[in-house]
A and B are shown apart, each in its own frame.
Chain A
Amino acid sequence: DGGITQSPKYLFRKEGQNVTLSCEQNLNHDAMYWYRQDPGQGLRLIYYSQIVNDFQKGDIAEGYSVSREKKESFPLTVTSAQKNPTAFYLCASSINPGTNTGELFFGEGSRLTVL
């Protein structure tokens, strides 16, 4: 079945370490997104990519980095510069970022805990 796969589902990190969260989609979608979700809060956009080899910062990009070398993949690196990285991270994709529909398809999420 087509969908979005995020891994790992749970990740523990020591302070000062970089970690990379994987996001893979086989929906042939052009656009991909990373969101951060904190308890009791909505989703905040970290980075998004509308096409391969191009990406833009979202609202809270500081301390994060991404790449989009393949259409199917959009990994997120949480760097040591991110002051409060413990959160639930959601990857999403959409068919065509230029349309006015905006429907997103989400992965199951990755929960990162900094020890």
Chain B
Amino acid sequence: GDSVTQMEGPVTLSEEAFLTINCTYTATGYPSLFWYVQYPGEGLQLLLKATKADDKGSNKGFEATYRKETTSFHLEKGSVQVSDSAVYFCAPGGSARQLTFGSGTQLTVLP
């Protein structure tokens, strides 16, 4: 079945630092790829997505590029803010059943 390996946290950065959270996956075919974000005490929200190879998803300064050759979908942001502190989940889609979620990466941004 599908699986995803996500960079383990927690990750602690200072404000305005560069962020990378690695994500690699195994899946049948070429699934859509997603990053979700979960703020404390809340459900998950879609952060960005890419539906085919070489697509770049972007939102709120975050970016991720669908790399078919390396089966990766790493999340990046050039300058993080305190408000970006949350848990980030990588998820390859592609089946009618549901998404396969990574274990999540806790990000804390210090002022």
Listed in ascending order, the chain A residues whose CB lies under 8 Å from chain B are 4, 6, 33, 35, 40-43, 45, 48, 50, 56, 58, 90, 92, 97-98, 100-109
Q: Which chain B residues (44-85) contact chain A, with CB distance < 8 Å?
A: 44-46, 49, 51
Chain B interface main SS type = loop
Listed in ascending order, the chain B residues whose CB lies under 8 Å from chain A are 31-32, 34, 36, 41-46, 49, 51, 89, 91, 93-99, 101-104, 106
The docked-state distance in angstroms from the alpha carbon of A102 to that of B30 is: 12
The residue on A at minimum CB distance from B33 is: A102
The docked-state distance in angstroms from the alpha carbon of A58 to that of B95 is: 13
Q: Are A106 and B104 in contact (CB under 8 A)?
A: no
Q: Can you give 13 contacting A-B residue pairs, CB < 8 Å?
A: A6-B43, A40-B103, A92-B44, A97-B96, A100-B32, A100-B94, A101-B93, A102-B31, A102-B91, A103-B49, A104-B36, A108-B43, A109-B41
Residues from chain B with Cβ under 8 Å of A98 in the complex: 96
Q: Are B45 and A58 in contact (CB under 8 A)?
A: no
The docked-state distance in angstroms from the alpha carbon of A44 to that of B11 is: 23
Q: Are B103 and A107 in contact (CB under 8 A)?
A: no
A43-B31 contact, Cβ under 8 Å, with A48-B97, A102-B99, A106-B45: no
